[in-house]
Structure 1
Amino acid sequence: MSELKNQECEACQADAPQVSGEELKVLIKEIPDWVPEVRNGVMQLERVYKFKNFKQAWAFSNKVAQLAEDEFHHPSLLLEWGKLTVTWWTHAIGGLHRNDFIMAAKTDGLLDS
């Protein structure tokens, strides 16, 4: 399997399969700083990025927003002083798809840019 951050998201329909428990165990190893969370019965991936101040967190949130627009896959973003919480899940299927893991890996890659 190639690195997630180098993979492309695929178009996702409402009948697309959610990531299985076995797939979750494999994929989460590639994005170890992300945590699977269940909210309102929906499995999601979440990571809190910490920064020295609001301006740095804001700048990073803009990078994540541009990535989301480029890929047409949009996370939940919570911008606070010195941190940005990013949450990925696939709304159309009400849970996690492989795309969410790809996007989490790509989000991590933005730290180096």
Structure 2
Amino acid sequence: MSDDLTKRQCRDLPKGSPALGAGEIAALMPRLDPGWHAGGGKLTRRFEVKGYAPAHMLANATAFLAEREGHHPDISFGWGWCEVTFWTHTVGGLSENDFICAAKLDALVAG
């Protein structure tokens, strides 16, 4: 695995592929912004922004990233916030794809 998750691409994971184990998740978490939380087989981050338009723009940017990677999170937003949740449906939990997308979103937000 490349050290820089932003240089990797998501790959297809057929149904029945194994989800990451607790040790693998723990090893990947430090490679993300500390705002990400893993639990219940999902990876979630709530972004605080200034107003509705920036929240909407972040949701749209996240959707664009998701389309490019072929890996789609749940996105919700409102005035001053945008929450993104990644998980891999076909594995029933977290996969490397979730961490790749989270790292790319971190890089996007950091500018």
Assess if the C-alpha contact under 8 Å between 2:36 and 2:43 holds in 1.
yes
Please list every run of 5 or more consecutive structure 2 residues that lacks an aligned counterpart in the other structure: none
Q: Which residue of 1 aligns with 2:60?
A: 62
- 1:24 maps to 2:25: yes
Superposed counterparts of 1:31-46, under 5 Å? 31=32, 32-38=34-40, 43-46=41-44
Count of equivalent residues: 109
TM-score, normalised by the number of residues in structure 2: 0.92
| Percent identity (aligned) | 36
Cross-structure match for 1:87: 85
| Cross-structure match for 1:10 | 11
In 2, the alpha carbon distance for the partners of 1:44 and 1:15 equals 17
Runs of 5+ unmatched residues, structure 1: none
Question: In the alignment, is the contact (CA less than 8 A) between 2:10 and 2:70 conserved in 1?
Answer: no
SS in 1 for 2:83: strand
How far did residue 100 of structure 1 move? 0.4
Q: Runs of 4+ in structure 1 displaced over 3 angstroms?
A: none
In the alignment, does 2:53 pair up with 1:51? Answer: no
Q: Structure 1 residue 77: deviation in Å?
A: 0.4
Q: Give the superposition deviation at 1:63.
A: 0.5
